[in-house]
């Protein structure tokens, strides 16, 4: 990397992990920052005391809009010579069983968590290849390694992101471009409260007689409890992101929280049948998910 400030583009920078990363990058003079969020979320920067200056841009970016993606990359190339480090952090999560996900829901989830990050990657690659250097960090999830009930389409989007990023790792490496997947698991934050429901999953949650209502009523609080109890925080995960940005040779995958490391170890060493049985029988009140048949 050159000695001049490196340009870092962070998506979803106004909240959660993105905001924690922003706060850790702001004092680091070796970076120029392009901090993005949806237009409706830009006010959060001011609320956190984050303002523009000669090395910090605040820009609206809906990652699903092609014209906004192109505009921000073009501006970075014209004014700062392109993006040196891309952190694809923006994302959403739908809570719904497979039967409650329509094609429209599925495409929306995939668009934000998979298609749009890869489009940003595609846009910044020519500049990185010309400079023979650069870093791409795609924020994945434990859900990109394992799936949970009621989170099928979210896992699908992260599995897709992981597969494409692994291929990109091999494609970009000869050009001197470093590619990494960050895999956070449960983080002690209120982000679980922002999960989205499809129309069908919302109706099921509210209707106690629906076939899947118990799935939502057990899984939601279960995930909430874990996220309140875990000692992993957005700040700790953000610190790992900064470390990746500074590593000479970062690995393809970085397991960012203890639970991800545990599940990765179990998945690696346990027989597949036993691994899935352990996870299944540790789901909350799994025997009560479906009404018992009357004799």
Mean pLDDT of 236-264: 96
What's the CA gap between 17 and 190, in Å, rounded? 11
What's the CA gap between 205 and 100, in Å, rounded? 11
Q: Count the helices and strands in the chain (H runs, E runs).
A: 11, 9
Q: What angle do CA 227, 230, 236 make, to 5 degrees?
A: 105
Tens-place pLDDT, residues 149-175: 999 999 999 999 999 999 999 999 999
Which tokens go with 263? 């599940």
Mean pLDDT of 244-263: 96
Tens-place pLDDT, residues 111-122: 999 999 999 999
Alpha helix (H) residue ranges in 86-178: 103-110, 116-131, 152-172
Quote the pLDDT of residue 227: 87
Q: How confident is the model at residue 192 (pLDDT cuts 50, 70, 90)?
A: low
Consecutive H or E run containing 153: helix 152-172
- Give strand ranges (E) for 194-284: 196-197, 253-255
Q: How confident is the model at residue 291 (pLDDT cuts 50, 70, 90)?
A: confident
Residue 2 has pLDDT above 80, yes or no: no
Tens-place pLDDT, residues 15-55: 999 999 999 999 999 999 999 999 999 999 999 999 999 99
Is 57 strand, coil or helix?
strand
Residue 268 has pLDDT above 90, yes or no: yes
Residue 69 has pLDDT above 90, yes or no: yes
Quote the pLDDT of residue 220: 93
Write out the catalytic residue numbers.
140, 154, 158
Mean pLDDT of 71-80: 97
Tens-place pLDDT, residues 140-150: 999 999 999 99
pLDDT, mean over the chain: 95
Residue 293 has pLDDT above 90, yes or no: no
Mean pLDDT of 212-216: 96
Residue 191 has pLDDT above 80, yes or no: no
Mean pLDDT of 218-235: 91
Residue 255 has pLDDT above 60, yes or no: yes
Residue 136 has pLDDT above 60, yes or no: yes
Residue 193 has pLDDT above 80, yes or no: no
**Domains along the sequence of the chain with CATH:** 6-259 (3.40.50.720)
Contact 36, 112 (CB under 8 A): no
What's the CA gap between 90 and 111, in Å, rounded? 11
Q: What angle do CA 278, 284, 222 make, to 5 degrees?
A: 115
Residue 1 has pLDDT above 90, yes or no: no
Residue 261 has pLDDT above 80, yes or no: yes
Mean pLDDT of 72-93: 97
Residue 294 has pLDDT above 90, yes or no: no
């Amino acid at each position: 990397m050159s000695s001049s400030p490196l340009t870092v583009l962070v998506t979803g920078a106004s909240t959660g992990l993105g905001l924690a990363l922003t706060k850790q990058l702001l004092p680091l003079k070796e970076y120029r920052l392009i901090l993005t969020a949806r237009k409706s979320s830009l006010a959060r920067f001011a609320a956190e005391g984050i303002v523009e200056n000669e090395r910090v841009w605040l820009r609206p970016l809906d990652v699903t809009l092609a014209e906004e993606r192109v505009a921000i990359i073009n501006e970075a190339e014209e004014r700062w010579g392109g993006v040196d480090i891309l952190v694809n952090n923006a994302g959403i999560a739908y809570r719904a069983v497979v039967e409650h996900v329509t094609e429209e829901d599925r495409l929306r989830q995939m668009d934000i968590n998979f298609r749009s990050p890869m489009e940003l990657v595609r846009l910044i690659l020519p500049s990185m290849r010309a400079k023979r250097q650069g870093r791409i960090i795609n924020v994945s999830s434990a859900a990109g390694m394992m799936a949970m009930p009621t989170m099928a389409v979210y896992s699908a989007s992260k599995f897709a992101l992981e597969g494409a990023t692994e291929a990109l790792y091999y494609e970009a490496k000869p050009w001197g471009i470093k590619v990494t997947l960050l895999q956070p698991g449960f983080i002690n934050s209120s982000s679980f409260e922002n999960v989205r429901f499809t129309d069908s999953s919302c109706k099921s949650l509210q209707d106690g007689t629906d076939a899947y209502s118990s799935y939502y009523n057990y899984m939601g609080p279960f995930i909430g409890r874990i996220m309140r109890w875990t000692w992993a925080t957005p700040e700790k995960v953000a610190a790992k992101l900064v470390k990746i940005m500074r590593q000479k040779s970062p690995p393809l995958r970085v397991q960012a929280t203890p639970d991800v490391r545990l599940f990765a170890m179990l998945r690696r060493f346990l027989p597949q049948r036993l691994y899935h049985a352990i996870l299944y029988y540790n789901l909350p009140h799994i025997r009560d998910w479906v009404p018992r048949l009357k004799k």
